[in-house]
Every structure is written in structure tokens, then in C-alpha cells.
Amino acid sequence: MNPQLLLDLELKRDSHNDHACLSLAHYSLYPELSQSAASFLHPRELAYFNSLGELKRKTDFLMGRYAAKLALKRLIPGVHGSDIDIHPGVFQQPLVTGPACQGVSVCITHSANLSAALAFPTSHPVGIDLEAIEASHLPSLQEHVETSEFPAGVRSVDEDIASYTRAWTIKEALSKVLRCGLMTPFSVLRLADDGAIQNQTWSGGFENFHQYRYLSLASPKFAFALVHPGRTQPIIALEQIQAFVS
């Protein structure tokens, strides 16, 4: 399997279309990338990477930045990854600066051995989240997700860890769009009761944020969510994402 995936995302509106780019990368790339980090990390990012001691933190940081640079370079042709600086804002949201980067944002996520990033126009906010499906996470997920949030037809028993994980990723993707992160109670991010399932893909809205909707897919290993403006039709090869996270 190819250890990375790069997909174009069309954000279709009645009045116009915008373009975004999604990238996913497997952590098997880390040994090679750690030797060539200067080729895609901004000098400030490189200094921070070299200051990290714990391997897990170094891996998460490098793979997240690598996925982000792949997506940004696809969205902004001709720009070099090392010229782009992604640094945290006051709420730890990733901010993008560099040549031709004005008006461009990025959302970064990682879990287990995968990282993902979505580069998009700041004027057209979208968010993603990726989470490994692990039974040990169930008690924690049950504190933030109710079975009544699952789309009709989903098995609503406590053992259905995949459904809880999918709902969690949807909420976390919305929190990234709103730039509130985990500082807001997840009950505020509650999924609406209009959820539907088509070809194993969930879609629906939010009880308190009617201006946004979501798409969710899952494999036996991972759950992935995309949150987008409600009047935007996202066009992306979901089957390729599904295959990559399987």
C-alpha cells in the first residue's frame, strides 16, 4: 500500500466553487522523513522538532507537518514546504504563514499510526478529525456521546465502539472549525437527529450549529470525519479515504 494519499476536495456552492486538498500519511514514513526534515520544515518548525525529546511527540509533530505541507503545496503550486511556517495560535489552532499563503488555512489531525491534514481557503471553513477505533476508549467516549446522536439504523448498544468513535470525531472536527477545541463541553456540539446513512457513510447536521454539516466514514481501524458549511456540497473520493484507513 502507498504510505500516503493526496486528494483534491471541491467545495461546491450555488454561486461558486472553492478547492481544498486532503492528505493522509502513514507513520512508516517517519524514519526516512526524520532524515530529511529540513527539506519540508520551516526553520522555526525544524528547531522545535529538534528540541523534542520523546519519540512519540517527535513522530506526531513531524508526520502532522508533513501531511500539512503535502496538502498546502497541492493547494498553492510552486511553494516550497520549508518556506511555509505552521505555528499555533492562542487556542493552539494551526496558523499558516509564508509565500502565497495569505487566505489559506490548514487543519491537522493524527491518531495511532496515521496523520491527516486538510488545506483550504480561510474564507470557506472546513475541519477534519481522525481517531483510531479502540475498545479501551469506550468509557471515555460514553461520557461525551449519547446513542441518540447516532443516525437511525445504527446499532445503539454500548459495545458498538465504532459508532461512538465516529460521533466523537464528528464533534472534534466541528470544534476545530469553531476553533474552540476541547475547551467547549461536547454536549454543545451535539449531533442533530437528522443523521442518515448511505453506503456506510454518515451524514447529518448539528443541534446547535445549523450552519454546518458532517460526513463520517469508518473502517475496522479508524473513524474519519469532515465538517463543512451546510450549503456546501463537498466532492471528494470517499472510497479512497476508506481504503487508505482500512
CA distance 15 to 17: 7
C-alpha cell at 161: 465502539
C-alpha R_g of the chain = 17
pLDDT computed for residue 153 by the predictor:
80
- pLDDT classification of 115: cutoffs 50, 70, 90: very high
| β-strand pairing of 222-229 with 127-132 | antiparallel
First vs last C-alpha separation in the chain: 11
Higher pLDDT, 66 or 89: 66
Cβ count within 10 A of residue 21:
21
Please, are residues 68 and 106 in contact by the beta-carbon 8 Å criterion? Answer: yes
Which DSSP category does 102 fall into? T
Q: Between the CA of residue 193 and those of 37, 127, 204, 210, what are the distances in Å?
A: 45, 21, 8, 12
Is residue 54 scored above 90 in pLDDT? Answer: yes
Which DSSP category does 157 fall into? S
Is residue 233 scored above 60 in pLDDT? Answer: yes
Length of the chain, in residues:
246
Question: In order of start, what are the domains of the chain with their CATH numbers?
Answer: 1-123 (3.90.470.20), 125-246 (3.90.470.20)
- The C-alpha cell 471515555 sits at 140
Which tens digit of pLDDT belongs to each residue from 116-153? 999 999 999 999 999 999 999 999 999 999 989 999 88
CA distance 223 to 203: 14
- The C-alpha cell 520544515 sits at 41
Please, are residues 186 and 171 in contact by the beta-carbon 8 Å criterion? Answer: yes
Cα dihedral sign, 31-35-36-38 = positive
Which DSSP category does 158 fall into? T
Q: Please choose, from the candidates 191, 200, 198, the residue with its C-alpha nearest in 3D space to the C-alpha of residue 219.
A: 200
For Cα atoms 74, 58, 100, give the angle at the middle one, nearest 5 degrees. Answer: 25
210: left (phi over 0), alpha (psi -120 to 50) or beta: alpha
Mean pLDDT, residues 32-53: 97
* Average of per-residue pLDDT values in the chain: 94
Q: Which residues pair with 21 in a beta bridge?
A: 8, 119
Mean pLDDT, residues 102-112: 96
pLDDT computed for residue 154 by the predictor:
83
Which tens digit of pLDDT belongs to each residue from 144-202? 999 899 998 886 554 589 999 999 999 999 999 998 877 788 889 999 999 999 988 99
Which tens digit of pLDDT belongs to each residue from 24-42? 999 999 999 999 999 999 9
- pLDDT classification of 238: cutoffs 50, 70, 90: very high
pLDDT computed for residue 90 by the predictor:
85
